[in-house]
């Protein structure tokens, strides 16, 4: 009562008007939908927290818990959450933030390297899957329009699920991960023409209208990329080098959020997919030294929105209908998984040399994606899909999304089995050298956290013997100095666990922590040990009193400054004493 009463007092004080006007209920009534939506969001997040923790406890993907939370709480089951449009909009932002962060992992140069398999392989996969899917549906007795719509629906895979699982498994930089990303990006781009195609099946636009729409979309994507390029190259560097951002971390985090959400909004404003706009912004920012820190700053926001995305997808299912039609759903799921794995594997095999990589991509992309819900809803609203067919493919999509973590995890083993069979049959003729799967130029890199005077002196003594050095610091001046010495330098707050994970410390030869703040040093060491228990960590301890804390946190070697200074002072005292003892007796007597 106290909380409710105080809330009413605040509401009345904020929205008070003169007597004789509308009632208080009318004045603040517009706020009720907001609180209803907030209640649904809170319920979804709480259920996702509980079920996600349960799945993680049993060493399964938390995504399964998020999907199950939406399925159980949605209108098809308990009905506690009704799927307000606001929740769906937040979920769409989740996908956009996910692709923004993925874009920060891929510079423009790296993206161009996967352009052939992405553009050619992705386009071929979508077309072939559409044609084969429509042919199978037609062979089962469905109408032409319904068959074409089904082919379009099953051609798309889940960008959000696959990339999230690949990131959790640290496989985004593997050959399979990079190839899957290229195909998925093409699929996301194909959503616009596929929606136009499905709409045309309902009898609205003409072929010319579809071609015009596709051309306009392409021009808008190019224009958006150019606008974001100008911002990332001309405006952003000046802002990020402002000392104000270095002094106040809140401002830097706010800037990262504005960049991530702003790029998604800009794409939506132009009538494009927000996810595509966010990804373009990410890859352009990946060229800057600020990409690592921006990625860390938007990490928490991304986790929130992506969780809401998966729960909102789960809400589309109806557990009762799924149980009643389990045999039909299982049969359809089996056909889709086998068919898409085969088609994608054969297509990707045209662009990459090893069968095992192609097969891994094929199995990882065998599910039906979240954008397929959009196509199914458009087809259902226009009368192309019947009620039973619509429910079938919504259920099939949910089932395959539940299977995605296992498909991605099984992909490498499945690929190795096919590679062995191909080698036995003499079909495998691939090169012996594979592309590097690491994110840094060479394996065994050295990570230096903090590049103040201590690290700079260390560079003069040792770094010339090692060719792969990554410096992480928040001070732009130190980074400029490091780059001037020929080192790879990134802006970043290493006390952020997301940044430590991104640096791939498990692959590093050594991690060197040179910052003077002992609390920050302890935090960094703990984060490093959480993901890389075996990587050697050398840490500077400015004061002897804190050396034990750093050692207990997991440092391999702790360089105690006061201990070393004491030793140095003792050496200098002895040196001067020896000099005095060797001096002329008469001079010393003076």
Q: What is the pLDDT of residues 466-518, one digit of tens each?
A: 557 888 887 777 888 888 887 888 887 788 887 888 888 888 889 999 988 77
Cβ atoms of 286 and 103 within 8 Å: the answer is yes
**How many Å apart are CA 28 and CA 180, to the nearest integer?**
49
- The secondary structure of 302-365, three-state, reads HHHHHHHHHHHHHCCCCHHHHHHCHHHHHHHHHHHHHHHHHHHHHHHHCCCCCHHHHHHHHHHC
Using CB atoms within 10 Å of the CB of residue 188, give its burial: 0 to 12 exposed, 13 to 18 middle, 19+ buried: buried
The residue behind tokens 């012996």 is 432
Cβ atoms of 100 and 93 within 8 Å: the answer is no
**How many Å apart are CA 413 and CA 402, to the nearest integer?**
19
| CA dihedral for 135, 141, 146, 150, sign (positive or negative) | negative
* pLDDT value for 435: 34
Q: Is the pLDDT of residue 100 over 70?
A: yes
Q: Which of 91-95, 114-118, 265-269, 536-540 has the highest mean pLDDT?
A: 536-540
Cβ atoms of 392 and 326 within 8 Å: the answer is no
> What residues contact 223, with CB distance under 8 A and at least 6 apart?
270
**DSSP bridge partners of 43:** none
Q: Give the distance from CA 111 to its chain's centroid.
A: 15
The residue behind tokens 């911002």 is 231
**How many Å apart are CA 111 and CA 132, to the nearest integer?**
29
* pLDDT value for 13: 37
| CA dihedral for 503, 509, 511, 514, sign (positive or negative) | negative
Mean pLDDT is lowest, of 217-221, 253-257, 282-286, 569-573, for: 217-221
Closest CA to 257 of 473, 37, 100: 100
Cite the beta strand spans of 85-237 per DSSP E: none
Q: Is the pLDDT of residue 235 over 80?
A: no
* pLDDT value for 439: 39
- The pLDDT mean for the chain works out to 77
**What are the structural domains of the chain?**
86-425 (1.20.1530.20), 446-576 (3.40.50.720)
Region 152-178: mean pLDDT is 81
Cβ atoms of 12 and 24 within 8 Å: the answer is yes
* pLDDT value for 14: 34
**How many Å apart are CA 342 and CA 128, to the nearest integer?**
11
Cβ atoms of 288 and 235 within 8 Å: the answer is no
Q: Is the pLDDT of residue 313 over 60?
A: yes
Cite the beta strand spans of 396-509 per DSSP E: 446-449, 469-473, 488-491
The residue behind tokens 């093409």 is 186
Grade residue 131 by pLDDT with cuts at 50, 70 and 90.
very high
Cβ atoms of 266 and 227 within 8 Å: the answer is yes
Digit-coded pLDDT (tens) for 316-355: 788 889 999 999 999 999 999 999 999 999 999 888 877 8
* pLDDT value for 278: 79
* pLDDT value for 246: 65
């Amino acid at each position: 009562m106290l909380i409710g009463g105080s809330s009413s007092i605040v509401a009345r004080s904020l929205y008070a008007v003169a007597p004789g006007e509308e009632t208080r209920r009318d004045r603040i009534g517009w706020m009720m939908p907001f609180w209803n939506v907030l209640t649904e969001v809170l319920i979804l997040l709480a259920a996702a927290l509980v079920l996600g923790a349960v799945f993680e406890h049993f060493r399964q993907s938390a995504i399964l818990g998020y999907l199950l939370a939406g399925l159980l709480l949605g209108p098809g089951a308990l009905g506690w959450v009704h799927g307000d449009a606001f929740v769906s909009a937040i979920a769409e932002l989740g996908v956009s933030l996910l692709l923004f962060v993925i874009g920060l992992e891929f510079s423009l140069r790296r993206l161009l390297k996967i352009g052939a398999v992405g553009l050619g392989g992705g386009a071929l996969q979508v077309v072939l899957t559409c044609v084969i899917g429509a042919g199978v549906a037609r062979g089962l007795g469905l109408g032409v329009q319904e068959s074409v719509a089904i082919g379009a629906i099953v051609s798309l895979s889940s960008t959000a699920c696959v990339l999230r699982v690949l990131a959790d498994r640290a496989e985004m930089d593997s050959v399979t991960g990079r190839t899957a990303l290229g195909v998925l990006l093409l699929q996301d781009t194909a959503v616009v023409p596929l929606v136009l195609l499905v709409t045309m099946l309902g009898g609205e636009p003409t072929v010319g209208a579809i071609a015009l729409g596709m051309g306009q979309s392409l021009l808008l994507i190019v224009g958006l990329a150019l606008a974001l390029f100008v911002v990332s190259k001309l405006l952003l560097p000046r802002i990020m080098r402002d000392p104000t951002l270095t002094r106040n971390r809140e401002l830097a985090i706010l800037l990262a959020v504005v960049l991530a959400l702003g790029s998604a909004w800009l794409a939506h404003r132009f009538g494009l997919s927000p996810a595509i706009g966010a990804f373009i912004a990410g890859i352009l920012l990946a060229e800057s030294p600020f990409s690592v820190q921006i990625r860390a700053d938007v990490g928490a926001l991304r986790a929130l929105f992506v969780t809401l995305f998966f729960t909102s997808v789960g809400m589309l299912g109806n557990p009762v209908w799924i149980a009643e039609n389990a045999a039909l759903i299982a049969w359809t799921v089996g056909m889709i998984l086998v068919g898409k794995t085969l088609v994608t594997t054969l297509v990707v095999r045209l662009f990459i040399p090893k069968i095992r990589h192609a097969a891994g991509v094929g199995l990882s992309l065998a599910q039906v994606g979240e954008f397929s819900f959009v196509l199914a809803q458009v087809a259902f609203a226009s009368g192309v899909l019947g009620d039973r067919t619509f429910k079938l493919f919504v259920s099939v999509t949910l089932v395959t999304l539940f299977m995605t973590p296992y498909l991605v995890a099984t992909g490498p083993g499945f690929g190795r089995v096919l590679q062995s069979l191909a080698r036995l049959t003499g079909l495998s003729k691939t090169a012996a050298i594979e592309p590097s799967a690491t994110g840094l130029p060479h394996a065994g890199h050295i990570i230096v956290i903090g590049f103040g005077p201590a690290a700079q002196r260390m560079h003069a003594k040792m770094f010339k013997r090692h060719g792969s050095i990554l410096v992480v610091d928040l001070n732009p001046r130190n980074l400029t100095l490091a780059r001037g010495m020929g080192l790879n330098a990134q802006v970043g707050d290493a006390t952020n666990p997301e940044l430590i994970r991104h640096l791939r410390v498990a692959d590093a030869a050594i991690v060197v922590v040179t910052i003077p703040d002992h609390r920050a040093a302890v935090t960094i060491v703990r984060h490093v040990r959480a993901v890389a228990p075996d990587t050697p960590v050398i840490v500077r301890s400015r004061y002897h009193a804190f050396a034990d804390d750093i050692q207990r946190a997991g440092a391999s070697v702790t360089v105690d400054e006061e201990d070393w200074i004491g030793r140095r002072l003792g050496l200098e005292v002895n040196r001067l004493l020896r000099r005095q003892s060797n001096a002329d007796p008469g001079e010393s007597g003076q």
